[in-house]
Amino acid sequence: MNVNLWLAMGLTKQYLRYVSSAVFGVIGNQKANIAFVTLRGGEKGRYVAVGACEHVFIWDVRKAEKVLILEGKKHEVTYLCPSPDGVHIAVGYEDGGVRIFSLLNGESNISFSGHKSAVSVIKYDALGARLVTGSRDTDVIVWDIINECGLYRLKGHKDAITQILFLESKNLLITSSKDSFVKWWDLDTQHCFKTMVGHRTEVWGMVLLNQESRLITGSADSELRAWDIQYIEEGKEVGEPQEKKVRTLLENEEEDEEGLDEEPEERILSCKKAGSVLREARDRVVSLVTDAKAKVLACHGLDATFEVFTVLSEEEVQKKMDKKLKKAKKKTKSQGGGEDVPEPVVERKLKDEIQKLANIKASSKIRSMDCLLVPNGEMKVALLLQNNTVETYTLKTSEKNPTGTKTSRLTLSGHRTDVRTLAFSSDNIAILSASGETVKVWNRSTLQVIRTMGCEYALCSLFVPGDRQIILGTKSGKIQIFDLASGSLLETTDAHVGALWSMCLAPDQRGIVTGGADKTVKFWDFELIKDQDSGKNKRLTVKHTRTLQLDEDVLCVRYSPDQRLLAVSLLDCTVKIFYTDTLKFFLSLYGHKLPVLCLDISHDSALIATGSADRNVKIWGLDFGDCHRSMFAHDDSVMFLQFVPKTHLFFTAGKDRKIKQWDADKFEHIQTLEGHHREVWCLAISPNGDHIVSSSHDKSLRLWERTREPIILEEEKEMEREAEFEESLAKGDEPVVPGEAKGEAEPAGKKTIETVKAAEQIMEAIELYREESEKLEEHRAACKAVGKELPPPKMNPILVAFGNISPSRYVLEVIKKVRSSELEVSLLVLPFPYVPDLLKLFNGYVQQGLEVELVCRCLFFLLRVHFGQISSNQMLLSVIDELRTNTISKVREIRDVLGFNSAGLQFLQREIESKEDVMFFADATDRFEEKKRKRRKRERAVLTVT
Ligand SMILES: *[C@@H]1O[C@H](CO)[C@@H](O)[C@H](O)[C@H]1NC(C)=O
Ligand SMILES: *[C@@H]1O[C@H](CO)[C@@H](O)[C@H](O)[C@H]1NC(C)=O
C-alpha cells in the first residue's frame, strides 16, 4: 500500500466492508425451469435442480435438503439443462451468459458469453459435445464444449426463442419462438432451410416423438399440433405428388397451417400436419415435456393442473388397430353382410397413438415441470410452483386411469409470499422472518429453520427481551404473540383499526409502542398472566396503557434510546417528535416531498435519519430538529433504515434492489450491497453489528457479514466506475465482423471486459516483442561495427520471469492464456497495426511446429477479418506466401498423425472386440440406425389398414 493510502486511512474513520455470506429462504425462483438431475449415481428422481436467484440449488426431495449449491456471480438464473451423461449442468443467466458446472463438485470451468439478454433455452446434443442456446435477444448460438468456443450464431427469429431441438440423425436444429415461427436449420451449412408459418400465435413448446419422426408443438391455445417429418433422400422424390401441393395452396384457412409454409422446393425433409391432441386447459402451454425416451408427454398451462399423455409404441398401436379391425369385421358379419359387402376400414388416427392418461392438480399454479420414467414404468414428475414450492408426484403409467400421488413437497425452507419484516434476537443468534402466512425463526449460523408458525399478514416484528417470545404486528391491525419453545400462538390482540405499520420496543424493555393506519400511536406494557388453559403456568400478554391521537395515518414509530422522545412518521410527509412522558408535541421535521417510510435514531439520541418514498434520506439533529443534510439515496423508495448499533453509520434498503451504507456525520455514501434481484423490503442489523439480514420481492433472504477489510472510499468509487464501464460494454453494440455480411450465421461471442483485457495483453506482448527485437537488431549492428562479439543486451525482466524465453515465444504464451471462448473476440478488437507483426510471428510458430492448431485458428480468423487490408498491403505479400506453404505442409503433417492414430485405435478396437466378444458403441449405433430405418418403412406401410 502506498503512503497516500495510509494517510487517507489514518485521517478518516475506518469503515469495514460487509460482504454477502448466504442466500436462503428461496426454494425455487420463477425465472428458471426445474430439472431432474442425478448425483453421484444416486437414484433417479430424487434430486432436482432449480434456479435460486443467481445460484442453482440442488434439492434432495426425499429428505427435503439442499445438497449442492452451484454458485453464480450476479445475474439471475434463467434456464438450466443437465448434460446427457448427467455429469454436468449448463446454466443460462439473465445477462445472456452461460456456465457449465460439474455436478460432482459443483464447480464451473466453462463459460460462454454471446447473448445480449436472458438465455431462454439450452439444449445439449446427444453426445454432450455441443450446446445450443436460445435467448430473448432472438439469437440461437451453437457452442463447441470441447474447444470452449462459439461455433455460429443463427439469426432469423424476431422474438424470444422458446425451445430448441436437435435432430441428431441429420445434424439439424429446430427452433421455436414467440414470433410464432418454427425454423429448421441445417447445421452443416448453418442456414435456415425451412420456416413453418402455420402458428398464428407464440409457439411456447416443442417435443420430438417416435424417433425424431414426429414433432409436437404447443402454442397459445389448447391444441397441441402434431407434425410428421419425412426425410427426403438425395435424388429421390418422396412424399406427396406434385398436384397435392398446388391444391393445398388453394385450400381454405385451416389448410394453410399445413401447406403454405413449404419452401418452393423441399430439400432435406418435409413436415406435414398429422393432426392435433387437445389439452383440457384453454390457456397457453407453459411447459411441454417428455421423458428421455419420449414415451410420455406432459404439459401444463398457467394454472395448477398438469396433463399427462402416453405415446404408444408402433407395436402397441398395431395391436390396437388389429383389435379394432377384428371388432369391425365381427360387426359387419353380425349385420348379416354377404359376399358383396366390402371389407371394413379402420382408419388410424392420432388418438390411437397419443392417449390421455391423467389430469393432476398441484397445490398451486405451476411454473415449470420435468418428468422421467423409471424402469418399472413409474413416471416421476417434478413441479416448480409459483409460490416458492417444489412438489413431486409419481404416476403408474401402466394403470388405466392412474392418479398422481404427491411424493414430496419442499416448503419448509422458505415463505410462500414476500417477507415484509425481519428481526434479530438479542443474542445475535436467531433471525425472525415473517410474511403473509407464516413466521419463521432461523438459526443464523446454520440457516436451518428452527420454528415455523402460521400467522396473519405480518408488517412488523420484534423479539421480546429474553428471546423466548416474538411479537408481530399485522395488516389487519392485530398484535400476535408467539412462544418459541412450544412454537405456539399465545394470543392475538386487536390493536388498531387498519394496518399496524410499525412497532418499537421501549428502551426500558417494559413494553412496546405501535402505530397504525387508524391515526393512533398506542403504548403497551408487557404483563405475565395466568394461562386459562394450563392453570398454573404464566404467559406473556400486552396491556394497552396510553393512546396518542394524530391527524394522519402513522407509518413509523421509534423511541429515542434514552426514552425521552418518540418520533412518529405521518402520511402528510412530516415526522413529529413527542415527549414520551407527557405525550406533548416537541418538534416537527419538514422537508420530505413524500411520506417517510422508515426512520431510526442513533444510539446517543443525537441524530435521527429518515428515509422516504421521495428517494432521499435526511439526517436531522434531534435537539433542534435541524436538517443536517439531505442525500439522494436510492433510485426508488427508501423502504428501510437502521443505524449500526453504537455508531453514526446506518444502512438503507431501497426498492431499487440495493442496500447502502452511509456515514451520518460526514454525509458519505460508504458502500452498496448488491445482490437482490427485486425490491428490498426490509433489513435487520444484529445487535453486535456483525450481521445484516435483508428480504426482497425475489423471495430470497440474504445474510451479509462484516469483515475486517477496511474500505477506502476513493477505491470504492473507482470500483463503481469500473463496474459501470463493464456494464456499458456488455450493453454495447456487438462487434460487426468486417468483411462479413450480417447474415443468418455470425461468429458467436461478444465484447466483455475480459476480451478487452485479453486484447490489451496481446498488444502489450507485441510491443514488448518489438522493443526486444529492436534491441537485438541494434546489438547485432553494434557487433558488426566493432567487428567482434559484444555482451548481449539485458533481457526484459518479464521474459526472465517466464524462464528466459524469447520475445516471440512470449507472445505465443500470452495468446495461449486467452480463454478459448474469448479468443476470436479478443483478436477482433485488436487494432490492425498489430496484425502484421502477429502474422510474421505466426509464420515462425508454424515453421517450428508450435501450437499449430491454435495458431491456425488465430491466423484464419485474422485473415478473414482483415482480408481487405492484408491483401492490399505489399509488405505482407511475402509473409502470406510463406505462411501458405508452411501452414499447408504442417497441417498435412498433423493430419497424417491423426490418421495414423485413428487407424491405430481402430486396430486396437478390433483386437479387443475379437478377444472379449463385445461390440463398441459405434457399431451398435449403426445397427440401431438400421432398425430405425426399417421401423420407419413399416410405419409408412401401415397408415391405413384395410
Ligand atoms: C402455496 O403453496 C402451498 C403449498 O405449500 C399451497 O398449499 C397453497 O395453496 C399455495 N397458495 C397459493 C395462494 O397459491
Ligand atoms: C444453531 O446452530 C449451531 C450450530 O449447529 C448450534 O450450536 C446452536 O445451538 C444453534 N442455535 C439455535 C438457537 O438453535
**Given a cut of 70, is residue 337 above it in pLDDT?**
no
pLDDT at position 89? 96
Give the pLDDT score at 945. 33
- Ligand 2 mutation pick, 429, 452, 468, 470, max ligand atoms within 8 A of CB: 429
Measured between alpha carbons, how far is 305 from 299 in angstroms, rounded to an integer?
9
* Mean pLDDT for the stretch of residues 495-508: 95
Amino acid 907: pLDDT: 86
Of 64-78, 429-443, 748-762, 926-940, the least confident: 926-940
Lowest-pLDDT choice from 68-82, 720-734, 736-750, 841-855: 736-750
Pocket perturbation via mutation, ligand 1, pick of 416, 418, 438 by most ligand atoms within 8 A of CB: 416
Of the ranges 1-10, 70-79, 829-838, 923-932, which one carries the lowest mean pLDDT score?
A: 1-10
Cβ atoms of residues 320 and 347 within 8 Å: no
Q: Residues 72, 55: contact at Cβ < 8 Å?
A: yes
CA of 390 to the centre of ligand 2 (A): 27
Mean pLDDT of 622-647: 95
Partner residues linked to 530 by β-bridges: 538
pLDDT confidence tier of residue 915, bands split at 50, 70 and 90? confident
Read off the pLDDT of each residue in 31-48 and give the average, rounded to a whole number: 90
Q: What is the pLDDT of residues 56-97, one digit of tens each?
A: 999 999 999 999 999 999 999 999 999 999 999 999 999 999
Distance 419 CA to ligand 2 centre (A): 23
- 756-761 contact pairs (CB < 8 A, 24+): 756/729, 756/826, 756/829, 758/818, 758/819, 758/822, 758/823, 758/826, 759/826, 759/827, 759/829, 759/830, 761/814, 761/817, 761/818
Cβ proximity of 681 and 418 under 8 Å: yes
Cell numbers for 187, please give them.
447445421
The pLDDT assigned to 747 comes to 59
Q: What is the pLDDT of residue 10?
A: 46
Identify the weakest region by mean pLDDT among 364-378, 524-538, 550-564: 524-538
Q: How far is the CA of 281 from the centre of ligand 2 (A)?
A: 48
Q: Average of pLDDT values for 225-236?
A: 78
Q: Whose CA is nearest to atom 11 of ligand 1?
A: 364
Contacts of 276 by beta carbon, 8 Å cutoff, 6+ apart? 223, 224, 225, 226, 350
Residue 182 has pLDDT above 80, yes or no: yes
Mutate which of 302, 303, 305, 364 for ligand 1? The one with the most ligand atoms within 8 Å of its CB, which is 364
Atom 1 (ligand 2) nearest CA: 443
In the three-class reduction of DSSP (H, G, I as helix; E, B as strand; rest coil), residue 727 is classed as helix
Nearest to 461 by CA among 422, 500, 415: 422
Nearest alpha carbon, ligand 1 atom 12: 364
Quick one: pLDDT at residue 242?
40
909 burial via Cβ count (<10 Å: 0-12, 13-18, 19+): middle
Going from the C-alpha of 399 to that of each of 101, 310, 379, 483, 908, the distances in angstroms are 38, 11, 11, 48, 49
Instruction: Give the whole-angstrom CA distance, residue 83 versus residue 125.
Output: 9
- Backbone φ and ψ of 853, nearest 5°: -60, -50
CA-based R_g, the chain, Å: 35
Q: Which residue has the higher pLDDT, 54 or 937?
A: 54
- pLDDT bucket at 735, cuts 50 / 70 / 90: very low
**Cβ(806) – ligand 1 distance below 6 Å:** no
Which residue is listed with cell 449448463?
90
Q: How confident is the prediction for the chain on average, in pLDDT?
A: 86
- 642-677 confidence digits (pLDDT tens): 999 999 999 999 999 999 999 999 999 999 999 999
Please say if the pLDDT value at position 261 is more than 50. no
Minimum mean pLDDT range among 551-555, 705-709, 918-922? 918-922
Given a contact cutoff of 8 angstroms between Cβ atoms, the answer to whether 257 and 274 are in contact is no
Q: Residue 346 carries which side chain, given as an amino acid letter?
A: V
Q: Is 413 in the pocket of ligand 1 (CB under 6 A)?
A: no
* DSSP-assigned letters across all residues of 728-767: HHHHSPPPPPTTS---SEE------HHHHHHHHHHHHHHH
Does the pLDDT at position 939 exceed 50? no
Residue 6 has pLDDT above 50, yes or no: no
Cα–Cα dist 405/380, whole Å: 10
- What mean pLDDT is predicted for residues 37-66? 92
In whole angstroms, what is the distance from residue 28 CA to residue 818 CA?
Answer: 35
* Region 903-912 average pLDDT: 85
Decide whether any atom of ligand 2 lies within 6 Å of the 443 Cβ. yes
* Residue with CA at minimum distance from ligand 2 atom 5: 446
Minimal-distance CA residue to ligand 2 atom 10: 443
* The ligand 1 atom nearest the CA atom of 391: 4
Which protein residue's CA is at the shortest distance from atom 5 of ligand 1? 411
pLDDT-derived band of residue 744, with 50, 70 and 90 as boundaries? Answer: low
Q: Relative to the alpha carbon of 409, which ligand is closest? A: 1
Cα 145 to Cα 628: distance, rounded to the nearest angstrom: 58
Decide: 430 in ligand 2 pocket, CB within 6 A.
yes
- Residue pair 285/348 in contact (Cβ under 8 Å)? The answer is no
Q: How confident is the model at residue 49 (pLDDT cuts 50, 70, 90)?
A: very high
Q: Report how far ligand 2's centroid is from the alpha carbon of 433 (Å).
A: 17
Residue 145 CB neighbour total at 10 angstroms = 19
State the closest ligand 2 atom to the C-alpha of 446, by its place in the atom list counted from 1: 2
Express each pLDDT in 110-137 by its tens digit.
999 889 999 999 999 999 999 999 999 9
> Residues 140, 153: contact at Cβ < 8 Å?
yes
Round to whole Å and give the CA distance between 604 and 846.
74
Residue minimizing CA distance to atom 7 of ligand 2: 445
Q: Phi then psi for 50, rounded to 5 degrees?
A: -135, 155
Average pLDDT over residues 282-298: 93
> Looking at ligand 1, which residue's alpha carbon is closest to its atom 4?
363
DSSP state letter for 541: E
Mean pLDDT of 253-267: 48
Under the banding of pLDDT at 50, 70 and 90, the label for residue 265 is low
State the pLDDT at residue 745.
58
Instruction: Identify whether the C-beta of residue 645 lies closer than 8 Å to the C-beta of residue 688.
Output: yes
Instruction: Reply yes or no on whether the pLDDT at 1 is more than 60.
Output: no
For residue range 515-549, list pLDDT tens digits in order: 999 999 999 999 998 877 666 778 899 999 999 99
Q: Confidence band (pLDDT; 50, 70, 90) for 235?
A: low
Q: With bands split at pLDDT 50, 70 and 90, how would you rate the model's confidence at 8?
A: very low
Nearest residue to 274 via CA among 377, 368, 347, 332 = 347
Q: How many residues in total does the chain contain?
A: 946
Q: Quick one: which of 489, 457, 460, 492 has its CA closest to 476?
A: 457
CA dihedral 608, 612, 615, 616 (to 10 degrees): -30
- CA distances from residue 174 to 113, 139, 223, 417, 443 in whole angstroms, order as listed: 22, 13, 20, 38, 49
pLDDT category, 226, cuts 50, 70, 90? very high
The residue type at 421: T
- pLDDT, mean of residues 224-239: 73
Higher pLDDT pick, 926 / 363: 363
Is the CB of residue 408 below 6 angstroms from any atom belonging to ligand 1? no
User: Which ligand is closest in space to the CA of residue 447?
Assistant: 2
Cβ of 427 below 6 Å from ligand 2: no
Rounded to an integer, what distance in angstroms lies between the CA atom of residue 276 and that of residue 198? 13
Angle at the Cα of 925 from the Cα atoms of 922 and 930, rounded to 5 degrees? 130
Q: Which ligand is nearest to the CA of 454?
A: 1
- The residue among 260 and 275 whose pLDDT is bigger is 275
**Residue 24 CA, ligand 2 centroid: distance in Å:** 17
Summarize the confidence of residues 711-719 as an average pLDDT. Answer: 86
Q: What is the dihedral of CA 789, 791, 797, 799, to 10 degrees?
A: 30
Q: Tell me the three cell numbers of residue 848.
A: 517450428
Write the DSSP string, 761-820.
Answer: HHHHHHHHHHHHHHHHHHHHHHHHHHTSPPPPPPPPHHHHHTTS--HHHHHHHHHHHS-G
Query: How many beta carbons lie within 10 A of that of residue 295, not counting itself?
Result: 16
pLDDT at 866: 81
User: Among candidates 81, 93, 101, 84, which has minimal Cα distance to 135?
Assistant: 93
Query: Which residue has the CA at smallest separation from atom 3 of ligand 1?
Result: 363
Q: Which amino acid is at 319?
A: K
Q: Which three cell numbers stand for residue 727?
A: 456494464
Q: Is the CB of 445 under 6 A from ligand 2?
A: yes
pLDDT, average across residues 385-409: 91
Q: Which ligand is nearest to the CA of 445?
A: 2
Whether ligand 2 lies within 6 angstroms of the CB of 450 is answered as: yes
- Ligand 1 within 6 A of CB of 433: no
Q: Are strands 565-570 and 554-559 parallel, antiparallel or unpaired?
A: antiparallel
Cell of 929: 440406425
Task: Please classify residue 825 by burial: count the beta carbons closer than 10 Å to its beta carbon, then call 0-12 exposed, 13-18 middle and 19+ buried.
Answer: buried
Nearest to residue 739, comparing CAs of 833, 874, 832, 846? 832
Q: What pLDDT does 147 receive?
A: 85
> What's the pLDDT at 253?
40
The fraction of the chain above a pLDDT of 70, given in percent, is 88
pLDDT tens, residue by residue, 783-837: 888 888 778 888 888 888 888 888 888 999 998 888 887 888 888 888 888 888 8
> How far is ligand 2, taken at its centre, from the CA of residue 28, in Å?
25
Return the pLDDT at 338: 58
Q: Cα torsion for 147, 152, 158, 162, to the nearest 10°?
A: -30
- Return the higher-pLDDT residue of 315 and 627: 627
Higher pLDDT: 1 or 414? It is: 414
- 747 vs 663, more confident: 663
- Residue with grid cell 437414484, as numbered in its chain: 43
Q: Are strands 296-300 and 701-711 parallel, antiparallel or unpaired?
A: unpaired
Q: Whose CA is nearest to atom 13 of ligand 1?
A: 364
Q: Phi first, then psi: give them for residue 501, nearest 5 degrees.
A: -75, -35
Q: Which ligand is nearest to the CA of 448?
A: 2
pLDDT band at 465; cut points 50, 70, 90 = very high
- Asked if 658 and 673 touch (Cβ cutoff 8 Å), the reply is yes
Q: Whose CA is nearest to atom 11 of ligand 2?
A: 443
pLDDT of residue 520: 96
Rounded Cα distance, 256 and 254, in Å:
6
Q: What is the mean pLDDT of residues 720-742?
A: 57
State the number of CA atoms in the 13 A half-sphere of 774 facing the CB: 7
Identify which ligand lies nearest to the alpha carbon of 438.
1
- Nearest alpha carbon, ligand 1 atom 6: 363
* Protein residue closest via CA to atom 7 of ligand 1: 363
pLDDT at 730: 60
Cell of 933: 430405418
Q: Which three cell numbers stand for residue 425?
A: 434476537
Residue of 425, 440, 443, 449 best suited for mutating to test ligand 2, as the one with most atoms within 8 Å of CB: 443
Arithmetic mean of pLDDT, 557-567? 96
Residue 512: pLDDT above 70?
A: yes
Sheet holding 77-82, edge to edge: 77-82, 88-93, 97-102, 108-113
Mean pLDDT, residues 565-589: 95
User: Which grid cell sits at 930?
Assistant: 438400421
- Mean pLDDT for the stretch of residues 431-448: 96
In the predicted model, what is the mean pLDDT of residues 626-648? 95
pLDDT band of residue 238 (cuts 50, 70, 90) is very low
CA of 537 to the centre of ligand 1 (A): 36
* Nearest atom, ligand 2, residue 429 CA: 13
Decide whether any atom of ligand 2 lies within 6 Å of the 429 Cβ: yes
Does residue 353 carry a pLDDT above 50?
Answer: yes
Is there an atom of ligand 1 within 6 Å of 363 CB? yes
Q: What's the number of CA atoms in the CB half-sphere (13 Å) around residue 714?
A: 7
The runs of H, that is alpha helices, within 181-295 are: 242-250, 253-256
Largest CA distance in the chain: 123
Residue 799 pLDDT: 86
Give me the sheet containing 15-24, strands edge to edge.
Answer: 15-24, 701-711, 691-696, 680-685
**DSSP-assigned letters across all residues of 613-630:** TTSEEEEEETTT--EEEE
Please indicate whether residue 411, judged by its CB atom, sits closer than 6 Å to ligand 1. yes
For range 727-731, the mean pLDDT: 65
Q: What is the pLDDT of residue 372?
A: 93
d(CA 644, CA 687): 8
Please give the number of the atom of ligand 2 that sits closest to the Cα of 444. Answer: 1
Residue 402: what pLDDT? 87
Measured between alpha carbons, how far is 433 from 25 in angstroms, rounded to an integer?
9
CA of 370 to the centre of ligand 1 (A): 20
DSSP 8-state assignment for residue 475: T
